Structure 1
Amino acid sequence: MKKFLIKILLFVLPILLIAIPLDFFISKNLKKSTTHAYGEYLVWNDIYSGQIDADIAIYGSSRSWVHISPEILEDSLNMSAYNFGIDALNFKFQYFRHQQLLKYNKKPKMIIVSGDIFSFEKEEEFYNHEQILPYMLWNKDYYKNRKIFNGYNTLDFIIPLIRYTGKTQELIHAFKLSANIKNPHPMRIKGYMGMQRTWNSDLEKAKKEHGSLKIKIDQDLLNLFDKFLIECKNNDIEVILVYSPEYIEGQTFIENRDEIMNLWEGFSEKHNILYLDYTQDSMCYNRDYFYNATHLNKNGSEIFSAKLAEDIKTLRGR
């Protein structure tokens, strides 16, 4: 038995001696990317550097990171800000990022939660799953929460290089960056990026294909959000709920929209926190501000950010 174990060790050890440094090499260089995974590496790097000192943290999905400009809030409110919006993922993933932020950085004074039709939707897919590749190996927090990262199995968090199997784009990208090939201009600044886009046909296509859509609400996510609001109160962090503009013609696409909007209103009332609902704002009636039914373009986001900052300044604490 002893000889057998020694043989296994002699077989495995050389592999590990190669796999471990190679994994660290790939991960270290992949983190340098300023555009890959929709710019999420930039945000994760800032979180794990421990250097974020933001008075205002902005949470949400893509509607957060393309709608709310930290710089505009900073100029108006005289408070530093950072947008932690995470693309196309519900509150379960937003809460994980929130936990990582608090673990490695100074807590914010205020959190703006940017609401979404899909924030509390039961979600099976881990969209843009490449974003955690450089950070997940031997990380206790990722391992403990591994069930939310669908697409990865337990071994991906434990054994070097396995998670990079089939990730050709990421491997090529990492090796290019290791050769000091010029990195494009950062996709996101303080987590935000205004989209220089004009109106597309997403809404028309969705209506033609589906007619309408009913969102399946996950009670566990509602409980988690309730827990989050209680934790923020206990941690002396002010929370403001915001539902940014959506194009008016797209609002009828969701069958149970009223039910979802009532959830946001209910959380506001239950926890006595400010809720700013812009779904009937004049911007919602002007397609020029949007590039699809749920996302503002750069011009729209800058106008909205200024409006939001002014409303927070006026209504906060009333």
Structure 2
Amino acid sequence: MLQKFWLKLALIITIPLMSLSLMAYMVDSGLRKSNHTALAEWNALFNAKINADLLILGSSRAAFHISPYILDTTLRLNSYNLGMSAWRFDMQWTRFKLYLEHNKAPKYIVHNVDLYGFAKRKNLVDYQQFLPYLNEPLLMNNLTGIKGEFNNFQKYMPMYKYANDWDLAWEGFKCYAGVPNVAHTNKYKGYQGNDIPWDNQFEKFKKKYPKGINYAIEKDVKVSFEEYLQFCQKKGIKVILVYAPEYFEVQPFYKNKNSFNILCQNAVNKYGCTFLDYTNDSLCFEKKWFYNSQHLNKKGAEVFSAKLAKDLKKLGVGR
């Protein structure tokens, strides 16, 4: 009797686990082929479909500001935008490492750098983009030790990570089965222009920080930044650091701009980078080009991309 009990118990546990494991395999595999807006860039990266001559890195100020279409048209090369909204240099460096594992090295990197980008992110944001790739050690290293990090149930219990994302899981099932007309991204080679009006985020920022704000440059992130620049120098990858336009009224609120400028100047002197600083560009002085103090709207981004493309061409980038 006891032996039958344990056999039944083993079956009760094993069969559901096997079924869930099969479901998880199907969902993950399908999502890794999906063109879902949260996953398209990661999937292109892991499936070796980028292989860019020029790679664009950075935060949302890269993802929303620099159009590969405009760069490609002017420079006559193949560019791709791997900017990550809300994520900072440590994740950007990780994304580049993963890119190199699956794609050819670029000749050029246009890396938008931000004042706030040299301190590690303290919480998990836009988590859906990582769900099919929780088995990637390099990626998980960046997602460990932060608020809201993936727990062991999400990492190791089949399908548990999709408990709050059944629509995404269903997308994975459909992609796995080859069902047509599944979700499609509205981005072009990673770039997304935002055709939206001026919001009230800058007004909230001014109320929150009436005396300004000092963004930290953390020592270990600074060390990683130099490792990245040294790596690119050794590989013969030309790095162009870019500080994209921002609405001029926000600039007096920054208390660490001098430290940031020293960091960028060191990159120029020590690692042969070029630094294109658009702090005083004419775009910065007209609100019509922005939807908040940090982000250009679609028209502003396209005007900026055209300016950037011309400046890159002057540097000898392209054909």
Tell which deviates more after alignment, 80-89 or 252-261: 252-261
Distance 1:78 1:148, change over 3 A: farther
Partner of 1:289: 289
Pick from 116, 129, 151: which aligns with 2:127?
129
Check whether the contact 2:89–2:120 (CA below 8 A) recurs between aligned residues.
no
For 1:205 and 1:140, the matched residues in 2 are separated by: 38
Task: State the shift of 1:49 in Å.
Answer: 1.2
Partner of 1:255: 255
Partner of 2:199: 200
Pick from 158, 161, 173: which aligns with 1:160?
158
For 1:206 and 1:31, the matched residues in 2 are separated by: 38
Task: State the shift of 1:112 in Å.
Answer: 0.9
Check whether the contact 1:34–1:187 (CA below 8 A) recurs between aligned residues.
no
Pick from 107, 117, 121: which aligns with 2:115?
117
For 1:246 and 1:77, the matched residues in 2 are separated by: 25
Tell which deviates more after alignment, 115-124 or 240-249: 115-124
What do the CA deviations read for 1:191-222 (whole angstroms, capped 9, x no partner)? 00111122222101211233232212211111
What do the CA deviations read for 1:267-291 (whole angstroms, capped 9, x no partner)? 2222121110001111111111111
For 2:232 and 2:6, the matched residues in 1 are separated by: 51
Task: Report how many aligned residue pairs link the two structures.
Answer: 311
For 1:102 and 1:191, the matched residues in 2 are separated by: 17
Task: State the shift of 1:94 in Å.
Answer: 0.7
Task: State the shift of 1:135 in Å.
Answer: 1.8
What do the CA deviations read for 1:85-106 (whole angstroms, capped 9, x no partner)? 0111001111111011100111
For 1:143 and 1:244, the matched residues in 2 are separated by: 29
For 1:7 and 1:213, the matched residues in 2 are separated by: 62
Instruction: Determine what percentage of the aligned residue pairs are the same residue.
Output: 34
Partner of 1:234: 234
What TM-score do the two structures reach when normalised by structure 1?
A: 0.88
For 2:182 and 2:14, the matched residues in 1 are separated by: 36
Task: Name stretches of at least 5 consecutive residues in structure 2 with no aligned partner.
Answer: none
For 1:248 and 1:242, the matched residues in 2 are separated by: 17
Task: Name stretches of at least 5 consecutive residues in structure 1 with no aligned partner.
Answer: none
Distance 1:106 1:32, change over 3 A: closer
Partner of 2:15: 14
What TM-score do the two structures reach when normalised by structure 2?
A: 0.87
Task: State the shift of 1:24 in Å.
Answer: 2.1
Aligned partner of residue 22 in structure 1, secondary structure: helix
Task: State the shift of 1:18 in Å.
Answer: 0.8
2:56 is equivalent to residue 54 of structure 1: no
Task: State the shift of 1:159 in Å.
Answer: 3.3
For 1:244 and 1:139, the matched residues in 2 are separated by: 31
Task: State the shift of 1:169 in Å.
Answer: 5.3
For 1:148 and 1:56, the matched residues in 2 are separated by: 32
Aligned partner of residue 91 in structure 2, secondary structure: helix
Partner of 2:66: 68
Distance 1:100 1:6, change over 3 A: farther
Tell which deviates more after alignment, 61-70 or 201-210: 201-210
For 2:44 and 2:125, the matched residues in 1 are separated by: 21
